[in-house]
Amino acid sequence: MKGPMLLGADLGGTNCRVGLVDASGNLVELVHFPTHIDRGLLPLVDRIVSATLELRDLAQQRGHEVEGLGIGVPGLIAPDGTVTASPNLPALNQAPLGQILRRRLEMSVTMANDANAHAWGEGIFGAARSMRSFLCVTLGTGVGGGLVLDRKIWSGATGMAGEVGHIKVAAQERLCCCGATGCLETYCGASGLLKTARSLIDDGIIPGPVLKGEVLSVPLLVEAALHGDPVALEVFSLSGGLMGSVLAHVVNLLDIEGVVFTGGVAPVLDFMREEMLRSFGAEAFGHAGLEFPLLQGKLGPDAGIIGAAHLGTYG
């Protein structure tokens, strides 16, 4: 029998990706499918089970043992694998997903918040390999956060640790999916960036030719920023300033070694960086200053799968 392989799943609001990962963090095979959470919990479970068994059988055919499934889920995860809250995937709320998958798959299943899975992947194999304590910020539809402290995922007493996206940055603006208003997520997640762009246009800032007459999207904002569009540049400046302020307070509290950004919207970091560093440097205490590592992740879209597969295997 050849060396063991691991199974990892990254469950997102739009797509679910299940992968076969080796001990060195290489993604060997991948199965992906639409989440379709509107169809309910059980159809989603069926698709996860089908993809997992397909990859397990493939690994066994190649002579590898399979040591279990790790899965990153956008929400708060109880120790027994129950999803206690998932604002963006409401069909998962209070679902005993871990127990269901263990019963259906007849193998060990380890669950974590999806940002924690991203953090673990970057901590073992990616941009944070040299750090013992760091924060991973996932930029996607919303803003997530995963904390690694002294080489251990820190979930907190109820699984809520690291939720930087729900730190309040504005007094009475923008309703968040969590039910509060003014959360960082409502400014720095994909939907928040687009809302800021529309607000600036409504306020009379004139977009350049890239944005004019087009349906707004984050890739379009990035393209417009590359062309010096005033709307796009202001969007990223505003979001970068808010992000830098929040990160400064996290560093002041925890004295971590760095911050790593992952997720589908992470490429906007280049346009946020200048204002983020200015804001961070103005508010970070002591040694942090402008030289503090604010890094782009190295594992790209595979960070969540790789980290989920290796949950519990390193410390």
Q: Do residues 171 and 273 both lie within one domain?
A: yes
Tell me how far apart the alpha carbons of residues 214 and 290 are, in angstroms, rounded to a whole number.
37
The total domain count for the chain is 2
Distances 225 to 108, 269, 302 between C-alpha atoms, Å:
46, 12, 26
Q: Do residues 109 and 173 both lie within one domain?
A: no
Residues 136/161, Cβ–Cβ less than 8 Å:
no
Q: Which residues pair with 27 in a beta bridge?
A: 21
Helix (H, G, I), strand (E, B) or coil at 240: helix
Q: Do residues 173 and 284 both lie within one domain?
A: yes
In a domain, 17, yes or no: yes
Q: Do residues 141 and 250 both lie within one domain?
A: yes
Residue of 56, 62, 44 lying closest to 106 (CA atoms): 56
Encoded tokens for 78: 């109880």
- pLDDT for 315 equals 45
Residues 288/254, Cβ–Cβ less than 8 Å:
no
Q: Do residues 90 and 16 both lie within one domain?
A: yes
Successive 10-residue mean pLDDT values, the chain, 315 residues = 86 91 94 91 95 95 91 89 86 93 94 94 96 95 92 87 92 82 93 94 90 88 93 96 96 94 86 93 74 90 95 64
In whole angstroms, what separates CA 249 from the centre of its chain? 20
In a domain, 137, yes or no: yes
Q: Do residues 103 and 176 both lie within one domain?
A: no
Helices (H), the chain: 41-61, 97-105, 114-125, 185-188, 190-202, 218-226, 230-254, 269-283, 303-309
Encoded tokens for 113: 């918040």
Q: Do residues 88 and 147 both lie within one domain?
A: no
Q: Do residues 215 and 284 both lie within one domain?
A: yes
Helix (H, G, I), strand (E, B) or coil at 6: strand
Place of tokens 């990616």: 126
Q: What is the rounded end-to-end Cα distance, in angstroms, of the chain? A: 26
**Taking the CA atoms of the chain, what radius of gyration do you get in angstroms?**
20
In which region does residue 295 sit, left (phi positive, over 0), alpha (psi from -120 to 50) or beta (all else)? beta
Q: Do residues 110 and 145 both lie within one domain?
A: no
Residues belonging to the chain? 315
Q: Do residues 145 and 184 both lie within one domain?
A: yes
CATH of the domain at 114: 3.30.420.40
Question: Torsion over CA of 281, 122, 146 and 155, rounded to 10 degrees?
Answer: -130
Q: Do residues 141 and 270 both lie within one domain?
A: yes
Tell me how far apart the alpha carbons of residues 182 and 197 are, in angstroms, rounded to a whole number.
16
Q: Do residues 106 and 237 both lie within one domain?
A: no
- pLDDT for 18 equals 97
Helix (H, G, I), strand (E, B) or coil at 27: strand
Domain residues for the domain of 197 are 132-296
In a domain, 272, yes or no: yes
22-34 burial: b if 16+ Cβ within 10 Å, else e = beebebeeebeee
In which region does residue 293 sit, left (phi positive, over 0), alpha (psi from -120 to 50) or beta (all else)? beta
- pLDDT for 78 equals 87
* Cα dihedral across residues 176, 181, 185, 189: positive or negative: positive
Tell me how far apart the alpha carbons of residues 2 and 266 are, in angstroms, rounded to a whole number.
37
Tell me how far apart the alpha carbons of residues 291 and 288 are, in angstroms, rounded to a whole number.
7
Tell me how far apart the alpha carbons of residues 76 and 97 are, in angstroms, rounded to a whole number.
12
In a domain, 212, yes or no: yes
In a domain, 260, yes or no: yes
Distances 192 to 20, 55, 90, 141, 182 between C-alpha atoms, Å:
34, 37, 20, 8, 10
1-19 pLDDT per residue, tens? 577 899 999 998 888 999 9
